[in-house]
Amino acid sequence: MRKQIIIALALLVGSFSFAQKSEIKDAEKAIKKSNFAEAKSAINAAESSIGSADDKTKAQFYFTKGQAFYANGTGTDADMDAAIESLNKVEEVEGKNGKYSKSVQEIKQEMINSFLTKANEALEKKNFSASSAGFEKAYKMSKSDTLYLYYAAATAVNGEDYDTALKHYEELKNLGYVGIETEYVAINKATNEEETFPSKALMDISVKSGSHIKPTVKNSESKQGEIVRNVALIYMNQGNNEKALEAMKDARAANPDDASLIISEANMQLKMGNRDEFKRLIQEALVNDPDNPELLFNLGIVAAEGGEIEAAKGYYEKALKIKPDYTDVHNNMAVLILSQEQAIIEKMNALGSSAADNKKYDELKEERAQLYKDAIPYLETTLKLRPTDLQTAKTLVNIYSALGDTAKQKEMQAKVAALETGQN
């Protein structure tokens, strides 16, 4: 009785195997005719029992399925994902030097080129979601090309798809992705600008032709800091400040000399409302980079908001010594000076009508006028550096009027009128 059962099962397995091969053959014939719907139908019929097939049949099945769902590049997004998964399984089953290896690589390369082309086209149109999906598919086809995964993450951020971006960034972190690449650059003689070439050979050709000079081979900067910053900012955006701080802490531990990470953590602390910690971190960064005007500018802002007028002025003045055309510093210095006006006005309004009060009133009036005079150079420079700044122009009109400088008042009124006309 047992022998009969064994024979029956053997026959049953054999019939399944025959059915599989027949359906795979049907799919292959349909693919040759570009009838991909029929090919998918035949593949789906064979799939339920493929688990019991031998490796040779499995390799044939997954290769055929990949072709069917790829459909010469016309498959849907879901079909493409199925094609990628199937073609990757071919290698899992038969290794890198199997019967279908060469054909699989050819199809994969064709798919990668197609995904990258579509991803770049979508990026040019600012369709960040489609661009990210394209780069992700290219990465799935070639897991060694982690740059594609980085692009998928970056474009997801641009499209504000933070969940997708976080998933990709976390994978990059787990892979230990650094992103340092060899760059081949040379100066374009016509534009006098540096240009990057995809290979040393192309750079050398341009130099030999005489169109470029000063060929240089260098390494790009690490992208680790950027990745961790974005991870932290995404966690913050999701309201998960604890994970954001943890991500930044890990980044700084791995890159203790990266000043940009200190600044990023400082900005993150500021967004969380931790002003003291922001100030401490900016000062820490300033120790490593004492001539950084942006750091001084930020310290000036924090000092000003804390009512530390003289400290804020000191930071702004140091920033301007390093970068005299720093528009925001000029603007903030003017705002800082004029912020002292309200206290003077309150003192003036609190005075009585005695001779002593009248004398004090005149002193306060002169003190107020001096504030205006101190603010004017910074406001004028702000307007010079930012000619369309309507608010600054209006402030100057009021100051010139208060100081009785009629000529400059009229001149600035004309400027205001021109700016307002341009905005309408």
Kindly report, residue by residue over 77-125, the tens digit of the pLDDT.
Answer: 888 888 888 888 888 888 778 888 888 888 888 888 888 888 889 988 9
DSSP run (H or E) holding 320: helix 309-322
Q: pLDDT class for 408, splitting at 50, 70, 90?
A: very high
Q: pLDDT class for 174, splitting at 50, 70, 90?
A: confident
Contact call for residues 224 and 256 (beta carbons, < 8 A)? no
Residue 160: CB atoms within 10 A of its CB come to 10
pLDDT of residue 14: 39
DSSP run (H or E) holding 385: helix 355-385
C-alpha–C-alpha distance, residues 287 and 280, integer Å: 11
Give all strands (DSSP E) within 37-191, no chain letters.
Answer: 182-188
pTM of the model: 0.57
pLDDT at 3 over 90: no
Contact call for residues 211 and 189 (beta carbons, < 8 A)? yes
Region of poorest pLDDT, from 242-251, 318-327, 337-346, 381-390: 242-251
In 3D space, the residue among 312, 298, 228, 226 whose CA is nearest the CA of residue 267 turns out to be: 298
pLDDT at 9 over 60: no
C-alpha–C-alpha distance, residues 53 and 315, integer Å: 75
pLDDT, average across residues 374-386: 94
pLDDT of residue 423: 63
pLDDT of residue 6: 38
State the chain's mean pLDDT as an integer. 85
pLDDT, average across residues 58-74: 86
pLDDT at 424 over 60: no
DSSP run (H or E) holding 352: none
Residue 402: CB atoms within 10 A of its CB come to 12
Amino acid at 301: I
210 torsion bin: left (phi>0), alpha (psi -120 to 50), beta (else)? left
pLDDT at 1 over 50: no
The rounded Cα 69 to chain-centroid distance in angstroms is 33
